Structure 1
Amino acid sequence: MTAPETEKTSVPEAEALRERALASLTTARARTTLLTSCVEDPDLTAQHSPLMSPLVWDLAHIGNQEEQWLLRAVGGREAMRPEIDGLYDAFEHPRAERPSLPLLPPAEARGYAAEVRGRVVDLLTAADFHGSRLTEAGFAFGMIAQHEQQHDETMLITHQLRRGPQALTAPDPEPVPLFPGPAEVLVPGGPFTMGTSTEPWALDNERPAHPVQVAPFWIDTTPVTNAAYQAFIEDGGYDTERWWTPEGWAHVRQHSLTAPLFWRRDGGQWLRRRFGATEAVPADEPVLHVCWYEADAYARWAGRRLPTEAEWEKAARHDPVSGRSTRYPWGDADPEPDHANLGQRHLRPAPAGSYPAGASPLGVRQLIGDVWEWTSSDFLPYPGFRAFPYKEYSEVFFGSSYKVLRGGSFAVDPVACRGTFRNWDHPIRRQIFSGFRTARSEAV
């Protein structure tokens, strides 16, 4: 996509953008370092699941994408390691075959990523953020910070799948009293503005902003909890075909699913494995590691349904008083720790009903952070969508093969999470940090 040249950024604006870009890149790299330094080299080069890359592949891929987009595309620099571009092309090599590639060993991958970053910092120092859509408002730097954080979440998933002693620790979220509020909230019908045309670092699939008409509906005040999901299990949910779509039922039978991923029953108690430790499943946490088919079946069992993507976004962004769509449920301010469970600050969801400061104007809680929330919608382009800066970011995934997830999880950094942010995955995926909440149409 070719964009017209933009107006020159003022000096104060440029300095603010430089600070934001550098802070976002630095935060991402600190997390990457943590995730790749907490285990020995054999764990970095091993493939812990055919669903995931070796951690060392992610590390070098992060550096390679940063080199291609910031040093080459923005800075016009010559390629540092052109011979490795193909090795770290996610579309050229499926995850299952990446361990067989001649990947950079851990020390070399670290050195390469560090050298790229050093040159990027020099480039950022002189950036003026005008001249093209790629550089406007520091978009390319924001895109790369988001890309690294997305791979950090992927690497955290690999750590969850990894067998062996616990390698990561973090404090637990603050305990909260059992949520006393209403179980559901009515979202009024009418139009709202979905997507964005003004968020400077928003990705192509979030654009453009467009009006959407939504009928009135009820939505769960909090995500579905482990206790509620256990009731579905105990009522024979996994053994009752009528709750499942035909594809979901076939998947359950073929793979003998009986509970969320990482759960097992020990006598009369459910246990789960979480980052190398085994613990009792906490009743008040949002359920985690369920696929779309499981979420959909639970909703049917409960006499409800999954919200559409538009319904989810209206619940998260629409302010019924002003009539406008805000950046986040709590307003336009960037996330703070009292708003949401983000950034790998904790290694688990917070109890249902946490973060009252992050509630929407209608009182819906935990729409941002804790668990990605499955919606009923296929991943499709918005009206007027234009791929930027490359079609492989979104366009090649559009269609009925992928379902949309919203809201982010405890593993998502704020730079890669906002009220318009769209995630997507196959409906069978369970290793991701996915949960859900349910909805129902208002009775006529």
Structure 2
Amino acid sequence: MTTEENVTTDPEALRRRATDALLTARRRTTLLTSCVEGPELTAQHSPLMSPLVWDLAHIGNQEEQWLLRAVDGREAMRPEIDPLYDAFEHPRAERPRLPLLAPQEARGYAAEVRGRALDVLEKASFAADGGARLTRSGFAFGMIAQHEQQHDETMLITHQLRTGAPALTAPDPDPLDAPFGGPAEVLVPGGPFTMGTTAEPWALDNERPAHTRHVPAFHIDTTPVTNAAYMEFLADGGYRDERWWAPAGRAMLRDGGIEAPRFWRREGGQWLRRRFGVTEAVPPDEPVLHVSWYEADAYARWAGRRLPTEEEWEKAARFDPVSGRSTRYPWGDADPTPQHANLGQRHLRPAPAGSYPLGESPLGVRQLIGDVWEWTASDFLPYPGFVAYPYREYSEVFFGPDHKVLRGGSFAVDQVVCRGTFRNWDYPIRRQIFAGFRTARDAYPQEAS
């Protein structure tokens, strides 16, 4: 079973891709940190998140450590700040009390690092079959571009949590000409498929290596669960009915006084939500957003279904039953375009369920990439043959039952961080992240045959 046939390994193409990815990330970082005044950058808008100025300097510090020091062997520019921007040394709630770089100083530091890093990029060897492992196929540069975009998504979450006037604007996704009229679910045939990747040059350690998984036949929702469908769960008393909730989920509701998705409130017989400083009616046709794993699991139980496993999600997203291949994306191997998926903060909301027919998988499943991260039933665990690289703290320290896997990416994710093999993870109580879900069910024996 062959896979990933069109992954480029041309050194100059990869160098151009790395340059574009780094510049794209920095434009977004600049937008997210220039649209508010200094006090908003240094404030902590939620104990769950860092001050925006911490993220800005952390981005620069990680780039310095990996591209200037590790790749190019340079001396540290500001070794005294390394401990301040070590994500493992200081929990987020403590970071506002640290002697952080002021906004203008953080901007200058990140800009100086970037200028030097682009010089390193220009002369680095990108040989796919030799040279230093960090620069092989441009891995270190791709890793840093992905790291910056991941923090850009984190900063966008902070913008959603902050109060006050809106600071960000973006056009809405195109509306559908008519409500999506396709099938509610799709049958995914049973059998083997290739999960994970070995060929993708910038894939991170937890995506590797490619390996065969055998998955029984199952049905999966054609689109993510919508706000309208979730409102039915609310109207049926779903948050009050203990039958649907895991014990930890019931405790989460009780301790947090939770009665609906985060940022929702009921007013005048209507559900409203706050979205980046704007209060609006909850749009019924959008995928539901800002729900925890426990809420997704409870909805699925109420609906007589379940969350898909991580293996099921990836097979639905990558498996082509005609060729037997696992492709890079649901639509094939080509990189995403705006016609394929809602990515890159191009919009500040999910597109209506059923959008992006060109992004449909060969089996007919839509919006597997972009719009909302999708909770799966699976714990975050290593693949067979996993090797931590280039540092244990990226993935290995998070493996285990405490974290659940999310797949697919959201409107807040850039394409450099979004592919059919990319794995995200978080605690099952998390609600501030741009997460939704779709449901699945087992196939009957006659359907599976």
Structure 1 and Structure 2 fold alike (TM over 0.5): yes
Alignment of 1:2-401 (within 5 A): 13-130=10-127, 131-176=131-176, 177-401=178-402
Counterpart amino acid of residue 117 in structure 2: V
Counterpart amino acid of residue 254 in structure 1: D
Instruction: Tell me the alpha carbon deviations over residues 292-342 of structure 1, each in whole angstroms, 9 at most, x when there is no partner.
Output: 000000000000000000000000000000001000000000000000000
Runs of 4+ in 1 over 6 A off after TM superposition: none
Instruction: Tell me the alpha carbon deviations over residues 121-180 of structure 1, each in whole angstroms, 9 at most, x when there is no partner.
Output: 111111112412211000000000000000000000000000000000000000002000
Distance 1:179 1:16 in 2: 38
Distance 1:324 1:241 in 2: 42
Deviation at 1:254, TM superposition (A): 1.5
SS of the residue aligned with 1:87? helix
Counterpart amino acid of residue 288 in structure 1: L
Instruction: Tell me the alpha carbon deviations over residues 244-266 of structure 1, each in whole angstroms, 9 at most, x when there is no partner.
Output: 11111111112111100000001
Aligned to 1:7: none
Deviation at 1:213, TM superposition (A): 0.3
Distance 1:23 1:32 in 2: 14
TM-score by length of 1: 0.97
Distance 1:429 1:13 in 2: 40
Q: CA RMSD in A?
A: 0.9
Aligned residues: 434
How much identity, in percent, do the aligned residues show? 80
Distance 1:114 1:395 in 2: 31
Distance 1:293 1:267 in 2: 28
SS of the residue aligned with 2:114? helix
Distance 2:125 2:189 in 1: 44
Counterpart amino acid of residue 183 in structure 1: A
Deviation at 1:62, TM superposition (A): 0.1
Distance 1:127 1:391 in 2: 25
Distance 1:23 1:99 in 2: 32
| Structure 1 spans left out of the alignment, 5+ residues | 1-9
Counterpart amino acid of residue 171 in structure 1: P
Deviation at 1:15, TM superposition (A): 2.2
Deviation at 1:46, TM superposition (A): 0.1
TM-score by length of 2: 0.96
| Structure 2 spans left out of the alignment, 5+ residues | 1-7
